[in-house]
Structure 1
Amino acid sequence: MDRSIPGAKEYFESFSKKTHFQRDTLEKAYRLENLSKEINRHPELKEGLVLKGGTALNFLYFRYPRLSIDLDFNFIAGIEKEEKDKERPRIDESLRAIFRFKGYDYETQTEYGLEKYFLRYINSSGNIDRIKVEINFLQRLSLLGVEKRKFLSPFEESDLALNTLKGPELFAGKMLALVNRLAPRDLYDIYTLQRERIKLDKILLRKIFIFFGCLARRDFREYHANDIERITEQDIRRKLLPLLRKEERLKAGDMIETVRPFLKDMFDFTPEESEYINRFFEADFRPEILFGDLLDSTDLEKHPMVIWKQRHLKEWLAKQKKT
């Protein structure tokens, strides 16, 4: 709710009583929805950015079982580097204009392929709070295409619909995030996937998980399903429970027991999948071995992340031969 609107504290307090979410976290969810609306009104941003991550899962696929803390987008307006280099400054300036218009102070962090915005505001309780908005400019090629889904708001009924990744690609990214950073909210999202019994093609899901896993900065071969056992009860209390309804007091052990078998299936590679992984880390990219007839892999050699990763692998392998 904009600072100019009076009664914000009472507004969020009323929805806190109705939904059982914490008031300040609800306000953050409101602000995320509000920012999404502004982005969706901008013609270039609406078509050029696709929502992914926890906000997409919990507000587009699920009916907000947990609240979210950030907005993550992929830039998809052009696969070629020249197109990206042309559009990136425009995307940046358009987002900055929205942040200024909505009254946010912000800082930026630019990395290769990533643009991060850290928005700062005074919430209705009078406390400083923050929102992160991140744009990935390397994931410019979606494996399955995008779809528009209705935003399920915990506030008034909304006609907001956003472009997002299709289910298998979205959930594969979330599984990789889980084993990579071991964040309680990622564990909860995969737990919710199991609890809600969302129907997904598990074979396609595993192959997309492998595809993106090999593109991760860390060596995908070092990941294991049992890594999630390192998530502690203290992690859950500190980092997850503030995002849940007050009566939902989940335990790390219970969620891990539910998620572990599913993750183990994702790491149960077929001979073809193992061959793909081994070849990939020998700088021999062969997507047809991984996907077969499941999807057209013709354009995957043009994927910016594939180009980046394979170049670095070739450089590393060349150095290894010299030593």
Structure 2
Amino acid sequence: MPQFNRRELDVRTREYGFNRDTFEKVLRLRTILDFLNTHEYMREHLLLKGRTAINLTVFNLPRLSVDIDLDFVPNLTREETVNERERLTEVLKGFMSEQGYAPSEASRFSHSLDAFHYNYVNAAGNRDMIKIEINYSLRTHVLLPEDRALVTDAFLFKNKIRFVPGSGCEG
């Protein structure tokens, strides 16, 4: 699991004006997004959408999003989607386990949405949670996926994030 130094986080959050625990969570999300965007299978099948995409790639907002919302990309038959969904779940769970995150009983799975919740203890010693949602319905995108860099240097993220343009109010 990524380890963060509380004092270093305090310095960086004062510099950028963020809440320390929320900032740490976004740094953790950044690590997960890096995996999702560099793992070939995950990159081909998932797109970031929603407020996190907007906050990280469009506007340099002082508000930090604290979850990852994804759309399943391929347009497949139901049977093919079920098979791909199982593989996506296996890959994601494997990565999160390798990183030291514990699956939460708060996770929920329905016919159209997987909501993975993972617990961890942050640098301040507080219990916290990361939520990753994968949407499998209402996901036909009019615009082609885009790769964008993060708009703030606060997160030290060099890779671009693949996301759904038009998934919110971005310009």
Normalised by the length of structure 1, the TM-score is 0.49
Which residue number in structure 2 is paired with residue 184 of structure 1?
Answer: none
Please state how far the C-alpha of 1:84 moved relative to its aligned partner.
1.1
The SS at the match of 2:128 is strand
**C-alpha distance in 2 between matches for 1:156 and 1:71:** 15
Which residue number in structure 1 is paired with residue 27 of structure 2?
Answer: 30
Which residue number in structure 2 is paired with residue 91 of structure 1?
Answer: 88
Please state how far the C-alpha of 1:155 moved relative to its aligned partner.
2.7
**C-alpha distance in 2 between matches for 1:33 and 1:15:** 16
Which residue number in structure 1 is paired with residue 151 of structure 2?
Answer: 152
Aligned residues of 2:16 and 2:154 also touching (Cα < 8 A): no
Please state how far the C-alpha of 1:40 moved relative to its aligned partner.
1.5
Please state how far the C-alpha of 1:57 moved relative to its aligned partner.
0.5
Unaligned 5+ segments in structure 2 are: none
The SS at the match of 2:130 is strand
For residues 165-204 of structure 1, the C-alpha deviation after alignment (integer angstroms, 9 at most, x for no partner) is: 12xx2126xxxxxxxxxxxxxxxxxxxx6xxxx4xxxxxx
Higher relative contact order (CA 8 A, sep 6+): 2
Which residue number in structure 1 is paired with residue 39 of structure 2?
Answer: 42
Which residue number in structure 1 is paired with residue 53 of structure 2?
Answer: 56
Please state how far the C-alpha of 1:14 moved relative to its aligned partner.
1.1
Whose helix proportion is higher, 1 or 2? 1
Which residue number in structure 2 is paired with residue 292 of structure 1?
Answer: none
For residues 202-226 of structure 1, the C-alpha deviation after alignment (integer angstroms, 9 at most, x for no partner) is: xxxxxxxxxxxxxxxxxxxxxxxxx
Please state how far the C-alpha of 1:64 moved relative to its aligned partner.
3.5
**C-alpha distance in 1 between matches for 2:140 and 2:77:** 10
**C-alpha distance in 1 between matches for 2:30 and 2:155:** 11
**Residue 71 of structure 2 is aligned to residue 74 of structure 1:** yes
Specify the code of the residue in structure 2 equivalent to 1:147. Answer: E
What percentage of aligned pairs have identical amino acids?
Answer: 30
Please state how far the C-alpha of 1:2 moved relative to its aligned partner.
1.3
Whose strand proportion is higher, 1 or 2? 2
Matches within 5 A, 1:108-127: 108-127=107-126
**C-alpha distance in 2 between matches for 1:164 and 1:156:** 17
Aligned residues of 2:45 and 2:74 also touching (Cα < 8 A): yes
**C-alpha distance in 2 between matches for 1:96 and 1:88:** 12
For residues 26-64 of structure 1, the C-alpha deviation after alignment (integer angstroms, 9 at most, x for no partner) is: 101101111111122211111110001111010011124
Specify the code of the residue in structure 2 equivalent to 1:44. Answer: Y
**C-alpha distance in 2 between matches for 1:41 and 1:28:** 20
Matches within 5 A, 1:289-300: none
Please state how far the C-alpha of 1:82 moved relative to its aligned partner.
2.9
Please state how far the C-alpha of 1:146 moved relative to its aligned partner.
1.5
Aligned residues: 169
Alpha-carbon distance change, 143 to 79 in structure 1, aligned in 2, over 3 angstroms = farther
Alpha-carbon distance change, 45 to 153 in structure 1, aligned in 2, over 3 angstroms = farther
Matches within 5 A, 1:1-323: 2-3=2-3, 8-107=5-104, 108-155=107-154, 157-166=156-165, 169-171=166-168, 198=171
Specify the code of the residue in structure 2 equivalent to 1:60. Answer: T
**C-alpha distance in 2 between matches for 1:40 and 1:140:** 19
Aligned residues of 2:109 and 2:115 also touching (Cα < 8 A): yes
Alpha-carbon distance change, 157 to 99 in structure 1, aligned in 2, over 3 angstroms = closer
Specify the code of the residue in structure 2 equivalent to 1:104. Answer: Y
Please state how far the C-alpha of 1:73 moved relative to its aligned partner.
0.1
**C-alpha distance in 1 between matches for 2:17 and 2:9:** 11
For residues 231-268 of structure 1, the C-alpha deviation after alignment (integer angstroms, 9 at most, x for no partner) is: xxxxxxxxxxxxxxxxxxxxxxxxxxxxxxxxxxxxxx
**C-alpha distance in 2 between matches for 1:92 and 1:8:** 31
Please state how far the C-alpha of 1:153 moved relative to its aligned partner.
4.3
Aligned residues of 1:76 and 1:139 also touching (Cα < 8 A): no
**C-alpha distance in 2 between matches for 1:157 and 1:125:** 21
Specify the code of the residue in structure 1 equivalent to 2:58. Answer: Y
Aligned residues of 2:18 and 2:62 also touching (Cα < 8 A): no
The SS at the match of 1:26 is helix
Specify the code of the residue in structure 2 equivalent to 1:113. Answer: S
Aligned residues of 1:64 and 1:154 also touching (Cα < 8 A): no
